[in-house]
Structure 1
């Protein structure tokens, strides 16, 4: 019997937030991304494994993981 399993990673952009990059110091807006990782069985997502909110610097590409409270605060300020 053949069993095909693996991981599926999806990113959903949430918008731009005004943050300074911690790596390069670029003061411009960063993109806010919701990243999910799921276990797949026969190419069907079955079990969610990880869900993270990240801010990505457009200048250097560094990502920074945000807590849900911090992301909510930044999203409310951007709207």
Structure 2
């Protein structure tokens, strides 16, 4: 198994947050707490910024963990520039 780091979207106390993981971390979480796509596959991102961008582009703001609202460089550019 690979020891590569990846990121998943987790429902934590009614907000979606990002968790940094390796394969062995999967056992520490309830599988039902991860956000899944329409096929039931858990979302996985190779970088934290990819996960942050995905959250801000696809999730209603009130359900995003405050730490990740408009937190990525892409989101900051969109927020401030015309």
TM-score, with normalisation over the residues of structure 2? Answer: 0.28
TM-score, with normalisation over the residues of structure 1? Answer: 0.28
Indicate the structure with greater strand content.
1
